[in-house]
Structure 1
Amino acid sequence: MPAPRRRRYPSDTTTAEWALIEPLLPIPACRLKTGGRPEKWPRREIVDAIRYVVDNGIKWRALPADYPPWQTVYYHFWRWNRAGVVGFIRDQLRCQIRTGQGRCPWPVTLIIDSQSVKGADTVSKATRGFDAAKKINGRKRHIAVDTLGLPVMITVTPADMTDRDAARELLWRLRVMQPQITQVWADSAYAGQLVNWSDDFLKMTLKTVSRPRGAKGFVVLPRRWKVERTLGWIMKSRRNVRDYERLPQHSEAHLTWALITLMTRRLTRGGKPHTSRWDKKPRPSACP
């Protein structure tokens, strides 16, 4: 196994951050009964490389030479996202932050919103569209967060899909994967038949928050401002300022990795990772 690299970039994990992420990664194949080859590159360096791409917005092929080969990094990025590992890490970190603040680990109230971004020439015609309201040709991100602004679910669609149509799939997935959710807040774009459909079909209360009459310019709206803040957090990572991904699923993964970094830094702000009674027993992730 190559010698560990020196951590020199702002996006690299600290020791405390890695202590949070490492137990949440899958068990290496060489430690399973089915067997497998030992992993050549340390997983911490793989995670550092993924975070570097998300934070700096570079091409995979432009990874600095002190990281593992870009093909190896991209393979782990693709495999972990496809296997649901990225979503699992997101959910576990969110639970730790919530329990650290004395809240129930699984939220029952969410806020949803969307954001349209331009698509690069690498985004296929079949997965992009034109948002006439925002005058943007690209994709639209639909995000659901808890009352702390922490991510619960993210989906990416063509920009020409209306918020109400995308919300049907989003709310359905939330009902299946997060059955404890009872209430969702949104803006007036989600009003109409969607409110009745959500209440009758999903048994989920959808409430809308409208702008005050006569208001001009930017106005902070109750409850909704938290999801707007989360969208602002996402845009701090340069890879997310524009959509470059051929697959919407990879766009969702880049958005999630940006918020995973935010949560690990919040949990380790005091220098030590937060632990709670919901934490899983750490599992070794490297082969001897």
Structure 2
Amino acid sequence: MTDAERAEVRPAMPVPAWLLRRGRRPQAYCHREILDDVRYLADNGVKWTAMPVDFPYRRALYDFFRRRRSYDYVRELYERLRRSARERSGRSAEPGAAIIDSQSVDASETVGEDSRGYDGGTSRDGRKSQILTDTEGLLLEVTVTTADVHDSKAAPALLETFMDQPGRLLRLVWVDSAYQGPAPAKAFARHGVRIEIVRRSDGQRGFVVLARRWVVERTLSRLARSRRLNRDHERRPDHHRQMVWWAAVIRLSRRLAADAPRWPEKRSGRLPRARA
């Protein structure tokens, strides 16, 4: 993170338990440094065992990632940044409309047979991420399933996960034709959310930019810039979900800072890292 990003992210960070006198030991490493190191892994797609030698011990980095996954730390951090971004643009903190789409990725040999499937539509053998975004493309929720789960079956769980949080104002969701059917309609109606299907016009061929749907597709392409998401290497689906949140935090923190530098800055006597 640059200093500008750090200034945006730091006020939104959930406070560690040890600072609130709720047990846990203080971290042995600089919090900013260890955040940068996990972001480096998500953005560059390296293995935990292949992290640069000048980083903290890889087990310490993995334990940091695992603890944050247990408490949904990164999701909470992103939600706070998202609310700040929406308020700066003159919108309410919680959206009233959203868009849903999915993306399947191939799984590596580290993904077990019990958590992968084959998506015939995209010819992918792996997992599928269902994402919900607001009308600006900011991530609202993500769930991960095997790739063979149809979108209409995965959408209710995605909506339930999002709407279970207090203060939600969602009333309208745009979807493609894969989400039509009684199961999603019933789940959405239970929360008072209306579904609107965006279809291609008759006779259209090739690539066509569709209203509303292009926003969520743009978000998926931006998340895919983080190489850890281009192929699923995670043994557990919830770890892949966390990587999606880490990738989203990288994009949003850079947007808030309006600064995406090509080279890391010097700070506190530490030399810039070499680019991979």
- The superposition leaves residues 152-209 of structure 1 with CA deviations (integer Å, 9 ceiling, x where unpaired) of 0011100000000000111122222263111111001011214531453221101110
Structure 1: how far apart are the matches of 2:24 and 2:220?
40
Change in 2 beyond 3 A, CA 1:24/1:71 = farther
Equivalent residue number for residue 75 of structure 1: 63
Tell me which amino acid in the other structure corresponds to 2:62: Y
Partners in 2 of 1:215 and 1:158 — Cα distance? 31
Q: 1:267 maps to what in 2?
A: 256
CA 1:245–1:102 in 2, change beyond 3 Å: closer, same or farther? same
Query: Cα distance, 1:51 vs. partner?
Result: 0.8
**Is the Cα contact below 8 Å between 1:156 and 1:249 reproduced in 2?**
yes
* Cα offset, 1:30, TM superposition: 4.1
Matched, 1:203 2:192: yes
1:89-168 correspondence runs (5 A): 89-168=77-156
- Which amino acid in 1 is paired with 2:66? W
Gaps of 5+ in 2: 261-276
Correspondence for 1:9: none
State the shift of 1:35 in Å: 4.8
- For 1:44-59, list aligned pairs within 5 A: 44-59=32-47
Structure 1 29/174 Cα, relative in aligned 2: closer, same or farther at 3 Å?
Answer: closer
Q: Which amino acid aligns with 1:141?
A: S
Q: How far off is 1:257 after superposition?
A: 0.8
How big is each residue's C-alpha offset from its partner over 1:187-246, in whole Å with a ceiling of 9 and x where there is no partner? 010112145314532211011101111111111000000000000001111111011101
* Corresponding residue number in structure 2 for 1:27: 15
Tell me how far 1:61 sits from its aligned partner: 1.0
1:28, 1:39 within 8 Å by CA — same for their partners in 2? no
* d(CA) in 2 for partners of 1:270, 1:132: 40
Residues 1:38 and 2:26 aligned together: yes
8 Å CA contact 2:234–2:240 kept in 1: the answer is: yes
Segment of structure 1 superposing worse, 186-195 or 228-237: 186-195
Letter of the 1:233 partner, please give it. R
- Find the aligned partners of 2:183 and 2:218 in 1 and give their Cα distance: 24
Residues 187 and 210, structure 1, Cα contact 8 Å, conserved in 2: yes
| Residue in structure 1 matched with residue 242 of structure 2 by the alignment | 253
Deviation at 1:29, TM superposition (A): 4.4
Change in 2 beyond 3 A, CA 1:194/1:16: same
Root-mean-square deviation (Å): 1.6
Distance, in Å, in 2 between the alignment partners of 1:198 and 1:34 is 38
Q: Which moved more, 1:171-180 or 1:128-137?
A: 171-180
Gap regions ≥5 residues in structure 1: 1-12, 272-288
Distance 1:101 1:29, change over 3 A: closer
Equivalent pair of 1:29/1:36 in contact (CA under 8 Å): yes
CA distance in 1: counterparts of 2:16 and 2:198, whole angstroms: 47
3-state SS of 1:37 partner: coil
8 Å CA contact 1:123–1:243 kept in 2: the answer is yes
Structure 2: distance between partners of 1:106 and 1:206: 18
Contact preservation (8 Å) 1:198, 1:206: no
Moved more, 129-138 or 227-236: 129-138
Name the CA shift for 1:34/1:201 in 2 (closer, same or farther; >3 Å): closer
TM-score in terms of structure 2 length: 0.89
SS state of the match for residue 116, structure 1?
strand
Identity %: 40
State the TM-score, normalized to the length of structure 1.
0.86
Quick one: structure 1 residues 217 and 101, their matched pair in 2 at CA, closer, same or farther if it must change by over 3 Å? Answer: same
**Quick one: distance in 2 between partners of 1:263 and 1:169?**
25
Q: Tell me the secondary structure at the aligned position of residue 102 of structure 1.
A: coil
